[in-house]
Structure 1
Amino acid sequence: MSTHGSHGDVLPFVALGRVLQGRGHEVEILTHAPFAPIVEQSGMTFTPIDTAEEYDRNLADTPPLLASGLERWRAYYERNHLFDQITFETNHLINRYIPGKTVFVGRHTTAISTLFAGEVLDAPTAWVAVTPIQYMSERGIAHMYARTMSDHLDGLRAGLGLPPVADWTAWFASAHLDVALWPEWFDRAGTPAPRRVRLTGAPLGDDTDLPELPAEAVELLDRNAVLLTGGTGRMLHGRFYEVAVEACRLVGRPALLAVRHRDLVPEKLPDGMRWFPRLPFPQVMPRVGAVLHHGGIGTLIRAATAGTPQVVLAHGFDRSENGARLTAAKLGSWLPEARWTPEETASLLTDALAQPRTSVPADHGLTAAAEAIEELAGSTVAYSARHLLTRDLRPRLHRLVNVYGPTETTIWSTTWEVPAEPAEPRIGRPIANTQVYVLDRRGGVTPAFVAGELLIGGAGVAGGYHGRKDLTADRFVPDPFGPPGARLYRTGDRARWRPDGQLEFLGRLDNQIKVRGFRVEPGEVEAAILTCPGVDQAAVVARGDILLGYVVGAADIADLRDHLERILPQYMMPALWTRLPALPLTISGKVDRKSLPDPVPERAAAYVEPRTDAERLVAEIWAEVLGLDRVGAHDDFFTVGGHSLIAVRVAARLRATIELDVPIRNLFTRRTVADLARAIEELITAELGDLSEEEAGRLAAP
């Protein structure tokens, strides 16, 4: 699990991890260094994503951003090395993955490393949100990523073998599970969460390792005191405690001031107010007359379930949203920062103290969230739309709609309501104000069952490609069936009408192929290959998730790879090369791609039998994941068909076989079987060197 932020963002994940651990699961939490003690005392594995000093600087740098423009967010990420942090998290998750046994869980919108790693490994992923504003601001955050950070993030993705994110809003909705840690009544009190989100109820904070209730606090509670708290962190408006403390003085009621950092509150406190760095909230909250707080959802839910009247001084859109929901549910009142005065706050606090106590449920909380995450456990492939269309998974959903459409027609153009027992997937019928046609090569409408090119018209058709008049003229054509000036977009997709009036998608008209999420035009790769000296002919095809290259000529394969690496992106590089005396041709003289033989990799070195146990282990795993009959001691991983995604699989297989974490970078720096085997032996030797004599003796015993 990966999470970021203050205590209100991290502690719910610690509590969720504790529940999952209690249900028999191993849990590792990646978060900020200061949270190590609370994670480790629960028996969970802790991995810091920063140092305590870096975390403090990050928190100190955050408040000015709450009302800042987009340009300051990128500077904030760069200044606090957050792009490096994302890279570290992603690589760590990839290295820790065990197929069929691992689920990546991340804080919604910030822990993007979980979705990156999930894409690379085709692993199940879950977003967990702790407050409704996370979903309400999803589009805004997606816009911020696209406008200010896409170059950094797409560069990271390219290194993982992933394509750029074309639509960040859609990408944020691509997790296989979305869990919201708040109750239904709170969701109904404002903008509800998207339909894809599963509301599981709210955690009531961390009830382990609670302090004793001080005698001074008991005395104040017996006098129906007010509880004043701004949460556990420092991310508060500078005037919060100044206004809140003075409001309590004006009311004249005893007060418990719960704040970890004494320097945040006025040095001199009113008579009857006592400062406590920590209090056992489960005992305190039901006994206070009212609570005056900052609007954090943890405090809000704790008070609501205890029936304690609340007043919120809200700063920032997230706390303001929580305050508005509280008021809508008739469980308290709130003030925006512009209206913070001791007098108005005192008036609301006086009203709250006179209100009757009304409690509401927290719903099922962390148990329901853990059960939802457990449903993903054991998945070895993504729980994606293509799987949801199968007969096995469709019955689990109340309703499923398959939506089709290219970006050039504003994404959504047709929809298909998937029946309870679906046959082959369809793309359905056009949505409102949209027209679709299946046309033959001469522009005529095809009858049912006859395939043609799918063209789309209507209100959603874009104006064209910016600065590309030639491409616009080719893809956006006059609409012969519409009013004057109307246009159709040529999708390049093959489709046909079914007798029931539904469209069936049949693939691409051109030779475009898709490899690991990238659209690749084989002709572009072939043209690049032909620029290498010694290549007379070239052909490129896709098999599974790799590209295969076929060449005719005397060019050295190693020289060819070096040449292409300078002019092609990694995803367009063929993984396996086969030299042929001539390319097979059709009767019309075109390359007969269906007749190209299975790849026979041309190795740079003569075959050498693996000689040690480590070499034999590496060779067997390479052969297994690459689908080869044999691999020699001097074979290069990338020459025999490896790429970044397969490197991840190799590392996972090594870990599952010998329980050793082999960093993926070793496959890029130790590229031959012999070199990687030596690296593994060095890692094992280092681990043995760390053992005590007693541990070594137990391992050596028969």
Structure 2
Amino acid sequence: MQVHLVTLGSHGDVLPFLALASALKRRGHAVALAAPAPFGGLAKRAGVDFHALGTQADYERTIRHPDLWHPRRGVAPLLQTLSSATEPVFDWLRTWWSAEGGVVVASPNSLGARVAQDKLGLPLVTLHVAPFLIESRRDAPVLPGLPLAHLLPSRTRHWLGRGGDRYVVDPAVLPGLNAFRATLGLPPVRRLRHWWNSPTRMVLTCPDWFAEPQPDWPEQAVQVGFPLSDRFGDRDGLDPEVAAFLDAGAPPIAFTYGSGMRQGRAFFRTATALCRRMGRRGILLAPQADQVSDTLPPEIRHVAYAPFSALLPHCAALVHHGGIGTVAQALTAGIPQLVVPVAFDHFDEAARLRKLGVGATLSRRRFTPSRGARVMDRLLTSPTVAHACREAAQRVAHEDGLGATCDAVEQAIAA
């Protein structure tokens, strides 16, 4: 059976789709993935047919936008990128779609896939990698850019989210989207976040103990475990020098601010000072060397990339931005997490980790060496946190999120 997969974003958005494509191929399906151009090399290494959306320059222009990683202003450049991909995604699916059968699996921000479903009648599975974009009055997500948002009642957060849709999201996307739909003879969309979910099948790839299912979620929603996918990144295992560093002393604290971050110098500067203050070893993960000082002390190592499944079991804790893929890998490793959220879903993931008892959060402004050291010391010495981390790791170990996601897609094919 033919399966077309479409997603937009950075590593945390693309790698789960690449892992799913590879797993479906092993099950005998013909697969093709459309994603931003920089991920073509990873797809080739995985043996997955790839269609580039945009160019490397387009991707870098978005990633380097000065407002992208702002908790409120970041939505504008993001929505502009999503809108610009609508027609290319639709054209790709219209060209390759066969009436003989198959299914499309797309992220909710792949708007061209939903247009193709409306126009061509193709079967579509909307795949959410995080619960942040799923509306609920009973358990509304924690929104970025609002002080103490996690303390607000759920209905208040939901009301604020609807306001954001009405005054920010919809005005930025719907005029262009509806103009394109009009050329296809399709009616206008009234609310983006209501329309972008496939009415036939929606899959959420995080377990119910992490995001409790809600009675007001869409009826077509299916929930599975985390589709751990880091082995589809830039390398399979640890660099020998990294492995030697890990073996040479006590478990280090790992720090990452995400693969797409281009404004992380202050974060890594604080990370370095935090480690020195605590007398701890550290490992700084940043793809771009200019994000990290070139005069690090010997007990702190900069690494461009390391698969978390190989690295984190050798680390004492992880300090990061709050991306869902990073969250899942640290839960799998059973280590505490300190989240310094940036934008988008990061604040919501941080709140869920606090609720599980496996982590803490500090704002970017409050993430200083002294505060960070105090919070990290509490996380590393608390028996309660250690127990919660072990329990989370055991839960992940008993799940097969990627296999369950494949099952959900195949069920959609059968239906």
Q: TM-score band (shorter)?
A: 0.7 to 0.9
| Correspondence for 1:276 | 303
Q: Distance in 1 between matches of 2:162 and 2:404?
A: 27
Partners of 1:152 and 1:314 lie apart in 2 by 31
* Aligned partner (choices 23, 28, 32) of residue 32 of structure 2: 28
Pairs within 5 Å for 1:215-364: 215-221=241-247, 222-234=249-261, 239-356=266-383, 357=386, 358-359=389-390, 360=392, 361-362=395-396, 363-364=399-400
State the one-letter code of the partner of 2:192. Answer: W
**Aligned CA distance change for structure 1 residues 317 and 206 (closer, same or farther; 3 Å):** closer
Query: Residue 101 of structure 1 contacts residue 378 of structure 1 at CA under 8 Å; is this kept in 2?
Result: no
Structure 1 residue 51, shift from structure 2 partner: 0.8
Q: C-alpha displacement at 1:278, in angstroms? A: 2.1
Distance 1:216 1:58 in 2: 31
Q: 1:2 aligns with which of 2, 6, 18?
A: 6
Q: Post-superposition shift, 1:20?
A: 1.0
> What is the CA distance between 1:218 and its match in structure 2?
3.3
Partner amino acid, structure 2, of 1:377:
I
CA deviation string 1:667-699 (max 9, x = no partner): xxxxxxxxxxxxxxxxxxxxxxxxxxxxxxxxx
SS in 2 for 1:152: helix
How does the TM-score come out when normalised to structure 2?
Answer: 0.82
- TM-score scaled by length of structure 1: 0.50
Alignment CA distance shift 1:190-1:350 (3 Å): farther
Pairwise mapping of residues 469-480 of structure 1 onto structure 2 (< 5 A)? none
Kindly tell me: are residues 203 and 252 of structure 1, through their superposed partners in 2, closer, same or farther at Cα, counting changes over 3 Å?
same
1:212, CA displacement in angstroms?
3.5
Query: Which of 211, 214, 217 does residue 187 from structure 1 map onto?
Result: 211
TM-superposed deviation, 1:217: 3.6
Instruction: Using the aligned pairs only, state the percent identity.
Output: 29
CA contact 1:247–1:342 (8 Å) conserved in 2: yes
Contact 2:322 2:346 in 1 (8 A): yes
Structure 1 runs (4+) deviating above 6 angstroms are 189-192
Q: Could you tell me whether the CA contact under 8 Å between 1:146 and 1:168 is conserved in 2?
A: yes
How many angstroms apart in 2 are the aligned matches of 1:127 and 1:200?
13
Q: Quick check: which has more Rg, 1 or 2?
A: 1
1:377 aligns with 2:401: no
- 2:116 is aligned with 1:92: no
Please give the alpha-carbon distance, in whole angstroms, between the structure 2 residues aligned to 1:218 and 1:48.
Answer: 37
1:210 pairs with one of 236, 239, 251:
236
Map Cα deviations across residues 618-652 of structure 1 (whole Å, 9 max, x no partner). Answer: xxxxxxxxxxxxxxxxxxxxxxxxxxxxxxxxxxx
Corresponding residue of 2:58 = 54
Contact 2:83 2:173 in 1 (8 A): no
Change (3 A) 1:233 1:275: same
Which one has the bigger helix percentage? 2
Q: Which runs of 5+ in 2 are unaligned?
A: 135-140, 144-160
Structure 2 residue identity aligned to 1:354: T
Corresponding residue SS for 1:187:
coil
Deviation at 1:264, TM superposition (A): 0.8
CA distance in 1, matches of 2:60, 2:194: 33
Q: 1:216: Cα distance to partner?
A: 4.8
Q: What residue number does 1:116 align with? A: 115
Q: How many angstroms does 1:2 deviate by?
A: 1.1
8 Å contact kept, 2:71–2:342: no
Distance 1:63 1:191, change over 3 A: farther
Aligned partners of 1:240 and 1:120: how far apart in 2? 46
Measured against aligned partners, the alpha-carbon deviations of 1:508-561 in whole angstroms (never above 9, x if no partner) come to xxxxxxxxxxxxxxxxxxxxxxxxxxxxxxxxxxxxxxxxxxxxxxxxxxxxxx
Partner residue, 2:157: none
Query: Where do 5+ consecutive residues of structure 1 fail to align?
Result: 380-702
Residue in 2 aligned with 1:644? none
For 1:132, the equivalent position in structure 2 comes to: 131
Separation of aligned partners in 1, 2:191 and 2:310: 47
Match of 1:159 among 176, 183, 200: 183
3-state SS in 2 of match to 1:185: coil
Query: Aligned-pair distance for 1:235?
Result: 5.3
Matches within 5 A, 1:537-576: none
Deviations 1:597-621 (A, max 9, x none): xxxxxxxxxxxxxxxxxxxxxxxxx
Query: Is the 8 Å Cα contact of residues 190 and 325 (structure 1) preserved in structure 2?
Result: no
Shift of 1:64: 4.0
Q: Distance in 1 between matches of 2:239 and 2:231?
A: 13
